[in-house]
Amino acid sequence: MHSRKNIFSRRIKPLFIIGLLILGFILLKWFVFDSSHEIKNQQISVLNASEESCLNCHIVNTGFSQYHNPQLIGCVSCHLGNPHEADKEEAHESMVLIPGNLSDADQTCGKCHPDELNKIKHSLMTTNSGLVAVDKFIFGEADSPDHSYDIRDIQYSAADQHLRDLCANCHLGAEKSEFGKITQLSRGGGCNACHLNYSDEAIFELEEYLKSGKKYLPKVHPSTDIFMSNLHCFGCHSRSSRISTNYEGWHETLLDIDHIANKDGFKVFEDERVYSYEGEDVHHAAGLLCIDCHSSHEVMGDGQDYLHAEKAVSLNCADCHYKHKPNTIAFDELDTESSLVFLHRDYKHVDKRILMVNKDGHPLVNTYVDENEDVFLIGKKDGKIHPVKRQSDVCSRDHAHQSISCSACHAQWAPRCIGCHNTFDENYENGYDLLDKKYKTGSWVEHVYEFSADMPAMGVRVTDNGRVIEPAIPGMIMTIDHESFDKNSINKSTFHRLYAPTSPHTIAKKTRDCKSCHSNPAAIGYGQGQLTYDISAGHGNWVFQPVYEMNPADHLPEDAWIPFLIQSQAKIVSTRTDFRPFTVEEQKQILLVGACLECHGDDSDVMVQSLESGLTPLLLKLSDACILPRE
């Protein structure tokens, strides 16, 4: 009797479970796919997939992600067309071959993902507002770099044409018009920019389709999913501040391919730019992807309009590498978007607290906190578990550096570009309008004197909560030849010396040493050179000898941000209204510590005490051997 019961149980239980799964699928299909229903105030309708004529021809088709399988949502949901016709021409009427571009996203992706589409429309990756604003400001076409723009709306002024010729390629509104995987050369493509993935089989099938003159129907479809790689970010973020290349450790040079043949330490990317290796980010060395830190909440935005990238970025190093106690959220408190990512990633830590970003409260669903308050991150590339360390005691206890950003100390290097000359060549035959995607005669041409890599300079971000010292790089040490574009221009030629705040993405575990800030001329803003502390007649005096010649436009070294211990006369010194160089008094305070470091090492008792209690108490009990800078 007992054995019969076991046999019965073994036979019936699987059938019972299968029955429940079938019932659940039928209910899900009836509710989600076979009926019109309202999703957050937006009416959508998905036809019963079995009634579509598409699958009569496109039959043996695989490769889809789990939640975009045409057996569930059909083909028309994404590609549109006429699903009631068997004739090819009629069935393909109004069909979208490459859905996901922002031009059609309202009818394709946005039908099921309206909130995400709304966020993307306001994202800086779509509008490029800050990029346009700074360019117009520098060209004298706006009175501030803090106006709001959309790059798709620019016209043909000098600044607009400058953007069209040199910058307007990297925005999500740029159309993906050809089949194929995402590459280093990819730009834009709306939802495809992040969510399109081709397997090797899908690439092979596409090649067969194209070779056959589009007669052979591919049997493997590319996937649309959330499994982004760094390559999805690379196309756009390897330009401008070169975050993607810097993260991997590569710095752009002005060398051509012939000069680096068979040389170690150099790499040529798909666009034939030549890079030298300067050191990868510690997170990249650990195998972490961009999206391990920058989640969908940050990448797609929150639906608000921001003027500049640093305002849109909410993640901070201290969110993971916390100081006192991690800021967390429970699994059952997750928002819908985070819950979906958790589901798609098949995470299991539903019983653990999850890290939450302090600035805007969005969760990092690939993290969890165990019962010992230890934090772990699940790598999205390979599922590897990474222990996340708290801030070191130095970072936490430090009285002197509380207003300094993490990257100011931990960035190994940053790109530096100087001597940029912009002129319009009306006879340039290979001009190309990046916004309208068409060739033309005439173009703005940019000539760069030098690319280099070094530890970043420092600047001051002024906020409502005080000031924060952040890394800075030469953003626009440049000349604009206005007359070359418009013979009647009021400005014949203008020179600008602007530094920009930067997030280098070249983080190292080891920090830069004290002297690299306190007695390094490039860090303070004077440019590269020899900064020496001269002691004579019982007095100390800092002396600076720059590497570069003085620029005749403003009589400062070519790579400098500010003059040496003299108040700058420039009215505009930064690409931001809330970011500035050190004042003369701040420079003196920095160099005062630099004078102490001439005798006292970083780890000496005196310098350690200054970190804990500040410099002022120590100045009250100076040794006779201490020679401070004269005022």
> Considering only CA atoms, which of 344, 338, 345 is closest in space to residue 363?
338
pLDDT exceeds 80 at position 619: yes
DSSP characters for 145-157?
TT----GGG--SS
- pLDDT tens column, 135-150: 999 999 999 999 999 9
* Residue 473 belongs to some domain of the structure: yes
> Considering only CA atoms, which of 364, 388, 224, 396 is closest in space to residue 297?
364
Q: Give the β-pairing of 438-440 and 539-546.
A: unpaired
DSSP reduced 3-state for 475: strand
The DSSP bridge partners found for residue 541 are 534
Structure tokens at 197: 């993935």
Residues 6+ apart with CB under 8 A from 271: 184, 185
Residues 6+ apart with CB under 8 A from 556: 497, 527, 550, 562, 563
Structure tokens at 383: 């599922």
3-class secondary structure for 502-557?
A: CCCCCECCCCCCCHHHHCCHHHHCCCCEEEEEEEECCEEEEEEEECCCEECCCCEE
Per-residue pLDDT averaged across 529-535, rounded?
96
Whether residue 299 sits in one domain with residue 406: no
Which of 357, 373, 390 terminates a domain? The answer is 390
pLDDT band at 396; cut points 50, 70, 90: low
Residues 6+ apart with CB under 8 A from 564: 521, 526, 544
> Comparing 35-49, 306-320, 362-376, 478-492, which segment has the lowest mean pLDDT?
35-49
Q: Which residues of 159-172 are buried (b: 16+ CB within 10 A; e: fewer)?
A: bbbbbbbbbbbbbb
pLDDT band at 556; cut points 50, 70, 90: very high
Whether residue 345 sits in one domain with residue 472: no
pLDDT band at 444; cut points 50, 70, 90: very high
Residues 6+ apart with CB under 8 A from 205: 218, 219, 220
Cβ neighbours of 384 (radius 10 Å): 12
pLDDT band at 398; cut points 50, 70, 90: low
DSSP reduced 3-state for 209: helix
What is the spatial distance between Cα 267 and Cα 260, in angstroms, rounded to a whole number? 8
Q: What's the mean pLDDT when you consider all of the chain?
A: 89
Which residue type does 140 have?
G
Give the pLDDT of residue 239: 86
Which of 354, 374, 390 terminates a domain? The answer is 390
CA diameter of the chain: 108
Ramachandran area for residue 140 (φ above 0: left; ψ -120 to 50: alpha; else beta): left
Residue 67 dihedral angles phi and psi, to the nearest 5°? -100, 5
Structure tokens at 625: 């051997």
Which of 84, 112, 140 terminates a domain? The answer is 112
Q: Which residues of 507-538 are buried (b: 16+ CB within 10 A; e: fewer)?
A: bbeebbebbebbbbbbbbbbbbbebebeeeee
* Residue 585 belongs to some domain of the structure: yes
Whether residue 459 sits in one domain with residue 422: yes
Tell me the residue range of the domain where 2 lies. 1-31
Give the pLDDT of residue 544: 97
Whether residue 556 sits in one domain with residue 444: yes
Structure tokens at 155: 């016209």
Cβ neighbours of 110 (radius 10 Å): 22
Per-residue pLDDT averaged across 364-371, rounded?
96
* Rg of the chain over all Cα atoms, to the nearest angstrom: 29
pLDDT exceeds 60 at position 24: no
Whether residue 335 sits in one domain with residue 428: no
Give the pLDDT of residue 397: 60
Whether residue 596 sits in one domain with residue 479: yes
> Comparing 159-168, 477-486, 571-580, 609-618, which segment has the lowest mean pLDDT?
609-618
- pLDDT tens column, 79-129: 999 999 999 999 999 999 999 999 999 999 999 999 999 999 999 999 999
What is the spatial distance between Cα 450 and Cα 474, in angstroms, rounded to a whole number? 11
Q: Give the β-pairing of 443-447 and 420-425.
A: antiparallel
| E-assigned strand segments in 180-265 | 196-197, 223-224, 250-252
Structure tokens at 268: 């040529």
CA dihedral 93, 99, 101, 106 (to 10 degrees): 80
Q: Are 548 and 559 in contact (CB under 8 A)?
A: yes
Give the pLDDT of residue 51: 80
Q: Are 587 and 565 in contact (CB under 8 A)?
A: yes
Give the pLDDT of residue 280: 97
Q: Are 73 and 54 in contact (CB under 8 A)?
A: no
Give the pLDDT of residue 29: 39
What is the spatial distance between Cα 19 and Cα 11, in angstroms, rounded to a whole number? 13
DSSP reduced 3-state for 421: strand
* Residue 284 belongs to some domain of the structure: no
Give the pLDDT of residue 610: 86
* Residue 186 belongs to some domain of the structure: no
- pLDDT tens column, 169-184: 999 999 999 999 999 9
Residue with tokens 């159309």: 175
Residue 93 dihedral angles phi and psi, to the nearest 5°? -60, 130
Per-residue pLDDT averaged across 534-553, rounded?
93
Whether residue 473 sits in one domain with residue 589: yes
Whether residue 562 sits in one domain with residue 456: yes
> Comparing 479-493, 502-516, 601-615, which segment has the lowest mean pLDDT?
601-615
pLDDT exceeds 60 at position 7: no
Structure tokens at 373: 């308050």
| E-assigned strand segments in 285-384 | 328-329, 354-355, 367-369, 375-378
Per-residue pLDDT averaged across 254-271, rounded?
87
pLDDT exceeds 80 at position 543: yes
* Residue 169 belongs to some domain of the structure: no
Per-residue pLDDT averaged across 235-255, rounded?
93
Whether residue 401 sits in one domain with residue 359: no
pLDDT exceeds 70 at position 33: no
Domain count, the chain: 4
Q: Which residues of 410-442 are buried (b: 16+ CB within 10 A; e: fewer)?
A: bbbbbbbbbbbebbbbeebeebeebbeeeeeee
Whether residue 559 sits in one domain with residue 485: yes
Whether residue 415 sits in one domain with residue 505: yes
**Stronger pLDDT, 622 or 332, i.e. the higher one:** 332
Q: Are 604 and 389 in contact (CB under 8 A)?
A: no
Residues 6+ apart with CB under 8 A from 178: 98
* Residue 432 belongs to some domain of the structure: yes
Half-sphere exposure in the Cβ direction for 82 (13 Å, CA)? 11
* Residue 513 belongs to some domain of the structure: yes
Structure tokens at 342: 């958790």
Whether residue 327 sits in one domain with residue 304: yes
Give the pLDDT of residue 144: 96
What is the spatial distance between Cα 589 and Cα 611, in angstroms, rounded to a whole number? 14
> Considering only CA atoms, which of 143, 128, 135 is closest in space to residue 159?
135
Cβ neighbours of 630 (radius 10 Å): 9
Q: Are 277 and 249 in contact (CB under 8 A)?
A: yes
* pLDDT above 90 coverage of the chain, percent: 76
* Residue 71 belongs to some domain of the structure: yes
- pLDDT tens column, 69-82: 888 889 999 999 99
Per-residue pLDDT averaged across 391-396, rounded?
76
> Comparing 13-17, 211-215, 247-251, which segment has the lowest mean pLDDT?
13-17
* pLDDT above 70 coverage of the chain, percent: 91
CA 583 to chain centre: 30
What is the spatial distance between Cα 545 and Cα 291, in angstroms, rounded to a whole number? 44
Ramachandran area for residue 265 (φ above 0: left; ψ -120 to 50: alpha; else beta): left
